[in-house]
Amino acid sequence: MTAAVTIVIPTLASTGRGPLLLRAVQSVLSLDVPAVALVIVNGGRHDDAVIRAVTDMGASVVRSDAVGVSGARLDGRRRVSTPLFGFLDDDDHLLPQAGTQRSRHFADSAVDIVVSNGYTTTPEGKTVPFCELPAEPADAARSILLANWLASAAALFRTATVGPGPFENLPDVMEWTVLGFRLALRYKVRFTPELTYVIGQDAPDRSTKTRSFTQQAPSILEQLREENPRPDLASLLARKIRAAHHTAADHALWEGDMRTAWRHHLASLGGAGLWRYGSLTRHLIRRQWQLMRDRSGRAASGA
């Protein structure tokens, strides 16, 4: 199957990201199937020279009032008119064979989504596969709670069956885990081991291990728990939520935010979390006493 594809690229189109965005657009236009590069420009930091450059390359550029990258993706999905579509972050790029290697699977009318593998780079500069894809056939909803297999460049979707709905109300962090879980519950996902994309590590503002990420993760997983219709996944989601609270507590402790650290730590102690994460309690108490002694010492010296 060589149906045309639309690849939605959300971007701020800022000066610093310009060369990366050009690389992303070129990778779409170089696919081995007919392809539309749909660039969704949101935010107020765009560089008109960057927008002119991607337009000159042949991309379709849309200015969007959507808030956040997930809002921009949703805006792009609503504009798709080709039989297949996908996404691409502006600092990633597709490999030329990604078109045929993924689109051929849609000859099977039961398939809604095709997920392939790709490359990423370790902190040491080594190129490795992005993830280990689930075995086929697989319980995709369970597997994505164990290890995320979805990234912006990883999937191709059938436009006629995968509408805008799953892309609504997505967070701007952990959005691919949330989306993958939603999709796995509702659609037929086929996994293919071909390496079809490269996740960039050279963007000037790329970061995933931020305070925002760690602090938002528990509430995002709670959202998944509310959306989950399967009782057999409840305990796994509960474990992930406790683990996310523990990570957030540890991060807040390292930053010296004791109120936040205690809040997340106490939330992590439900069920099996008491024995798994209880050891952090003594570190929090020790740090709390140290802060109290420091305040007391400062007060005494000031007197």
**176: in domain:** yes
The answer to whether residue 144 is domain-embedded is yes
User: Does any domain span residue 249?
Assistant: yes
Q: Which of 159, 176, 198 is the last residue of a domain?
A: 198
pLDDT at residue 208 in the model: 45
Q: Structurally, how many domains does the chain consist of?
A: 2
Q: Quick one: 108 and 10 in the same domain?
A: yes
Asked if 162 and 268 sit in the same domain, the reply is: no
Residues 139 and 273 in one domain: no
What is the pLDDT at residue 172?
A: 87
User: 266 and 120 in one domain?
Assistant: no
Q: What is the pLDDT of residue 270?
A: 82
- Classify residue 206: in a domain, yes or no: no
The pLDDT value recorded for residue 2 is 56
Domain contains 93: yes
User: Residue 289 domain-assigned?
Assistant: yes
Same domain, 67 and 139: yes
For the chain (303 residues), the mean pLDDT of every run of 10, in chain order, is 85 93 97 96 90 96 91 96 97 95 96 96 81 84 94 97 96 93 95 93 53 86 94 95 93 90 91 82 86 68 58
The answer to the question of residue 203 being in a domain is: no
Q: Are residues 112 and 232 in the same domain?
A: no
Range of the domain at 115: 5-198
Domain boundary among 172, 198, 224: 198
The verdict on residue 119 lying in a domain is: yes
pLDDT for position 296: 66
**Do 218 and 291 fall into the same domain?**
yes
CATH number at residue 85: 3.90.550.10
The verdict on 194 and 246 lying in the same domain is no
Distances (CA, A) of 36 to 74, 111, 182, 210, 250: 17, 22, 26, 33, 44
Cα angle: 46, vertex 60, 194; to 5 degrees: 100
- For residue 241, what pLDDT is reported? 95
Instruction: Give the pLDDT confidence score for residue 278 in this predicted structure.
Output: 85
Do 188 and 225 lie in one domain? The reply is no
CA atoms within 13 A on the CB side of 10: 22
Record the tokens describing residue 300, joined without a space.
């005494």
**Shared-domain flag, residues 29 and 169:** yes
Q: Are residues 223 and 193 in the same domain?
A: no
Domain identity same for 175 and 293: no
